Amino acid sequence: MIIDAKGLDHRTLNEKIRESNDSITINGCCGQRFIAAGMSDCIIRVNGIPGNALGAYLNGAEITVGSNAQDAVGDTMNEGLIVIHGNIGDAAGYAMRGGRLFVKGNAGYRAGIHMKEYKNKIPVMVIGGVAGSFLGEYQAGGIIIVLGLNAKEKPLTGNFPCTGMHGGKVFLRGNCENIRFPDQISAKIATDEELEEISEYIKEYCFLFGGDPNDMMKTPFTLLTPDSKNPYKQMYVAN
C-alpha cells in the first residue's frame, strides 16, 4: 500500500495509515507530525522527511525513514522498531520504555532522556554518529549506544551527559577523555563481558546501515552507569 502524503495533514495521513494493510510506503512526506503514533501492527517506510514526534507511543509497529527525521522521534515508545537512515533532531526516545531505535547519523540534544526499563523490557537506542548535549539525562533504565562513526574531532556527546541518571547504561565508543561526566556517574572502559550485552545491537546496526561489527567492537567502549539508583535519598529531613 502506497500513500502519497503530499498535501495531507497529520490527522488525515494517520487515518490513511490506520485504514491500510500491514505494509505501507509513505511517499512525499514533508514534515507531517505524529506519524504512526501509538500504532502496533504495521511496517511503514517513509520517503521524505517526517515531522516531529514520529512514532510517539509506538506500540509494536516498525518504521523506516530513508532520510533525516526531526524532533521527538519515538517519544514514550513502548515496543517496535524505528530506523532512521540519516540524522535526528532533539529529544529522541524521550521516556522510551521498550523497543529499538537506530539512527545512522547524529542525534540532537536530549537523546534518550528518562528512558526506563522493567525486568526484561529494555529499550535500546543506537546512534551511529555523535549525540548532542544532555544525552541520557534522568536515564532510569535501558541502553544507549553512541558509535561516533565519522565523528572526526567531535566528542561523542555534547555537554552534561547523563545528568540525573539513576538507572540503565550508556556505551560510548571511545575512551571519552575529552568529555566531562557529572559526579554521580561512574565511567570506565567496558569489559568484554559487558560488551557482550550490546554486540547484537551493533550487529543489527551494521545489518541496517552497513559496516563490520567486528571492526566496530575493536575500539574500546566507555560504559557509563549511575552510582546510585536513589540520587535524592539524602537530601531531605522530615518536617
Partner 1 sequence: MGVEFIYPEFEVIRNENRCIACRVCERQCANEVHFFNTEHSVMVSDESKCVNCQRCVSLCPTRALKIVKSDCTLRENSNWENDTIKEIYKQANSGGVLLSSMGNPRPMPVYWDKILINASQVTNPPLDPPREPMETRVFLGRKPEKIERDETDKLKCEIPPQIELSMPVMFSAMSYGSISYNAHASLARAATEIGILYNTGEGGLHEDFYRYGKNTVVQVASGRFGVYKDYLEAGAAIEIKMGQGAKPGIGGHLPGAKIIGDVSKTRMIPEGSDAISPAPHHDIYSIEDLRQLVFSLKEATEYKKPIMVKVAAVHNIAAIASGIARSGADIIAIDGFRGGTGAAPTRIRDNVGIPIELALAAVDQRLRDEGIRNNISLVIGGSVRSSADVVKAIALGADACYIATAALLALGCHLCRTCQSGKCNWGIATQNPELVKRLNPDIGSKRLVNLMNAWRHEIKEFMGGMGINSIEALRGNRLMLRGIGMTEKELEILGISHAGE
**Contacting residues toward partner 1, per CB under 8 A:** 10-11, 14, 18, 33-34, 37-38, 40, 52-53, 56-57, 59, 71-72, 75-76, 78, 90-91, 94-95, 97, 110, 113-114, 116-119, 121, 134, 137-138, 140-141, 164, 166-167, 229-239
Of 79 and 204, the one with the shorter C-beta distance to partner 1 is: 79
- CB of 116: closest distance to partner 1 in angstroms? 5
- CB of 132: closest distance to partner 1 in angstroms? 13
> Distance between CA atoms of 59 and 71, rounded to whole angstroms?
19
> Distance between CA atoms of 83 and 64, rounded to whole angstroms?
5
C-alpha cell at 52: 516531529
> Distance between CA atoms of 119 and 141, rounded to whole angstroms?
10
CB 138 within 8 A of CB 114: yes
* Beta-ladder partners of 64: 45, 83
- CB of 137: closest distance to partner 1 in angstroms? 7
CB 84 within 8 A of CB 62: no
- CB of 52: closest distance to partner 1 in angstroms? 6
Of 141 and 148, the one with the shorter C-beta distance to partner 1 is: 141
- CB of 238: closest distance to partner 1 in angstroms? 6
Of 55 and 128, the one with the shorter C-beta distance to partner 1 is: 55
C-alpha cell at 20: 491500510
> Distance between CA atoms of 66 and 104, rounded to whole angstroms?
10
Of 62 and 137, the one with the shorter C-beta distance to partner 1 is: 137
